[in-house]
Amino acid sequence: MTLLVRERVEVAGPPPDRPPFWTMRRRDELAGWLFVAPQLAGIIAFVLVPLGLVVWYSLHEWSVLADTFDYVGLGNYSALADDPRLGPALRATGLFSLGLVVLNLSLALFLAVLLNQKLRGTVVFRTLFFSPVVVTLVAWTIVWGFLLQDNGGINGFLELLGIDGPNWLRGDATAMISVIVVQLFKNVGLNMVLFLAALQGVPAELYEAARIDGASAWARFRRITVPLISPTILLTSILTVVGSLQVFAQIAVLTQGGPGTSTTVLIYYLYQQAFQFHHFGYGATISLLLFVIVLALTALQWRMRRKLSFYED
């Protein structure tokens, strides 16, 4: 019915020798641009322009308190290269990211494999492992900070077992381990769920065939599971690495970058310089360094895609 009405309207439209200006193609052209306009404008205003400003700021000595904004060329860059705190900050960032990514991906994959067996109660376990993801980040951090106090819950339970626990957040190594572990259990459920979804896409016949050929459980995991879910491994590792460079709240709440500077990762150092010491120009230089690291790591992992992913959609 609708079809008929349509056609009659079109026949009654403009004569065939002058095609209408608003063809479907032109309409789509306009609609496409209008649909992406808010996003495009937002990215320009809140990402690209600020990124340009970061570069501009990094070329200036800018003291908010003294209200000065002087061009210093690459002065901030050479200052950053000579900054005795840069080395420790990069080291802390590297330790944190590496520790987190390795532990996160192995634990997520381990839990996903455990839960991928057809067991009763899988949904309950999955829900519980995922639950920290939805707990308010700072709430999660606070309760761990409380547990990790010298006289807190963890040392209390250790003492019941006759172990004298360390003052976790006050030792260089234990403080770093603590912030890694707090972040690990907060978000590992997310990667676990992504791995579970990937595992469910691995055809069961492959395992059957391998079992008949006498492959061990480890060999099946190594030769079937890992290659087949490698696109997911790549994706989760990119998300986890980039995410680890943005971890701020946990450090700010648990250690404030201490003891000493042992947990002062780059983003925390950036926050200190810009918003505690009000060195915006120098802070911008650190921002750029952080940006370059994110870029380099993403590019590196993207290049590894060919080596890692045997089967890509």
Shortest distance, CB of residue 275 to another protein, whole angstroms? 6
Q: Which residue, 219 or 249, has its beta carbon nearer to another protein?
A: 249
Among 81, 102, 142, 163, binds another protein (CB under 8 A): 142
Which residue type sits at 84? P
Angle at 217 between CA 228 and CA 210, to 5 degrees: 65
**Would you mind telling me the total number of residues written for the chain in this entry?**
313
Q: Which residue, 69 or 209, has its beta carbon nearer to another protein?
A: 69
Asked if 304 touches another protein (CB under 8 A), the answer is no
Asked if 111 touches another protein (CB under 8 A), the answer is yes
Q: Which residue, 88 or 281, has its beta carbon nearer to another protein?
A: 281
DSSP string, the chain: -HHHHHHHHHHTSS-TTS--SS-HHHHHHHHHHHHHHHHHHHHIIIIIHHHHHHHHHHTEEEETTTTEEEE-TTHHHHHHHH-TTHHHHHHHHHHHHHHHHHHHHHHHHHHHHHHTS--TTHHHHHHHHHGGGGS-HHHHHHHHHHHTSTTSHHHHHHHHTT-----GGGSHHHHHHHHHHHHHHHHHHHHHHHHHHHHTTS-HHHHHHHHHTT--HHHHIIIIIHHHTHHHHHHHHHHHHHHHTT--HHHHHHTTT-STTTT--HHHHHHIIIIIS-BHHHHHHHHHHHHHHHHHHHHHHHHHHHHH-SS--
CA dist 76 and 182 (Å) reads: 34
Among 60, 80, 129, 225, binds another protein (CB under 8 A): 129
Asked if 135 touches another protein (CB under 8 A), the answer is yes
Asked if 20 touches another protein (CB under 8 A), the answer is no
Footprint on residues 145-204 left by another protein (CB under 8 A):
145-147, 149, 151-153, 156-157, 159-160, 181, 185, 189-190, 193-194, 196-198
Q: Which residue, 50 or 87, has its beta carbon nearer to another protein?
A: 50
Asked if 313 touches another protein (CB under 8 A), the answer is yes
Asked if 85 and 264 touch (Cβ cutoff 8 Å), the reply is: yes
| Cα Dmax for the chain | 95
Q: Which residue, 17 or 276, has its beta carbon nearer to another protein?
A: 276
Shortest distance, CB of residue 162 to another protein, whole angstroms? 12
How many of the chain's residues bind another protein (CB under 8 A)? 101
Footprint on residues 224-283 left by another protein (CB under 8 A):
231-232, 234-235, 242, 245-246, 248-249, 252-253, 267, 270-271, 274-275, 280, 283
Footprint on residues 64-93 left by another protein (CB under 8 A):
none
Asked if 96 touches another protein (CB under 8 A), the answer is no
Shortest distance, CB of residue 213 to another protein, whole angstroms? 25
Q: Which residue, 209 or 310, has its beta carbon nearer to another protein?
A: 310
Among 295, 300, 303, 310, binds another protein (CB under 8 A): 295
Footprint on residues 21-50 left by another protein (CB under 8 A):
27-29, 31-33, 35-36, 38-50
Q: Which residue, 117 or 213, has its beta carbon nearer to another protein?
A: 117
